Amino acid sequence: MIVTSRIMAILLPAVLLAGCSAVDGLRNSLGGQIVGNLFSNNDAPAAPLQRPGFRASDIAANPDAFHLMTINALGLAEPARRIAAAGTNETFESESGFTAAYQDGMLVSTHGLGFDLIATEAAQTRAALRQGGGEAARSLEVMDGLDQLSRMEFRCTVTAGGSEAVSLGAREVTLRKFTENCVGDRLAFENLYWLDGSGAIIASRQYVSPTVAYLRSNRL
């Protein structure tokens, strides 16, 4: 996947509030060049989004259909639109073309990142999040450097971290933060989740693969 210079010119690499929150808020409201400024800073005037389906008017018209996605290892921070939905299953396509599939807020696969997450079994983690914490077993299947499918097993601990104010771009909300620490034979990782009062995952930072590392995503 090629990250175009246009995307990199308009995207702000520091998109987390206090190192963990989402992209800084829209400066006035969703609409017009405000969305064009969503990823800008004062030193680099923003260019408008150009790809069909990702224009400022598209995001302003239906912000619920978009997420903000960040992959620090690849220098990506960009909008992603929902292209498929069935029950709690949702698939998002980013402006640069990769896709990410979620099941009830849990990242279950990616496509177009090269070293993709092919599948994961995270039902126990999701149950622990609903219960306010606990132990979980989970597996990951990822593509390695030889284009071979590698399966890894992990033991995980989900811990509640209290409430935290999180900027979602268009609004700031107070959410419950959870940390998932997973340890396997060859690898360990730490996922972060922010849940609302109903238990829905509003923002998350979830592991993809050893090369891609983490995908950060949040609703608008």
pLDDT tens sequence for the chain (220 residues): 433 333 333 333 333 333 333 333 332 333 333 344 444 444 444 444 567 788 888 988 999 999 999 999 999 999 999 999 999 999 999 999 999 999 999 999 999 998 899 999 999 999 999 999 999 999 999 977 677 888 999 999 999 999 999 988 778 999 999 999 999 998 999 999 999 999 999 999 999 999 999 999 999 8
State residue 50's pLDDT score: 62
State residue 9's pLDDT score: 33
Element (H, E) at 216: strand 213-219
State residue 108's pLDDT score: 97
State residue 217's pLDDT score: 96
**Closest residue by Cα to residue 216 from 182, 163, 167, 144:** 167
Cβ-based burial of 208 (10 A; exposed 0-12, middle 13-18, buried ≥19)? buried
Which residue range(s) make up the domain with 190? 5-219
Instruction: Name all contacts of 115-123 with Cβ < 8 Å and 24+ positions apart.
Output: 115/142, 115/143, 115/144, 115/145, 115/208, 115/209, 115/210, 115/211, 115/212, 116/142, 116/143, 116/208, 116/209, 116/212, 117/141, 117/142, 117/207, 117/208, 117/209, 117/212, 118/142, 118/143, 118/149
Domains in the chain: how many in total? Answer: 1
**Closest residue by Cα to residue 169 from 8, 90, 60:** 60
CATH number at residue 157: 2.40.360.10
State residue 127's pLDDT score: 97
**Closest residue by Cα to residue 169 from 16, 42, 44:** 16
User: Residue 77 is encoded by which pair of tokens?
Assistant: 């921070």
SS3 content of the chain, % helix, strand, coil (to 5): 15, 50, 35
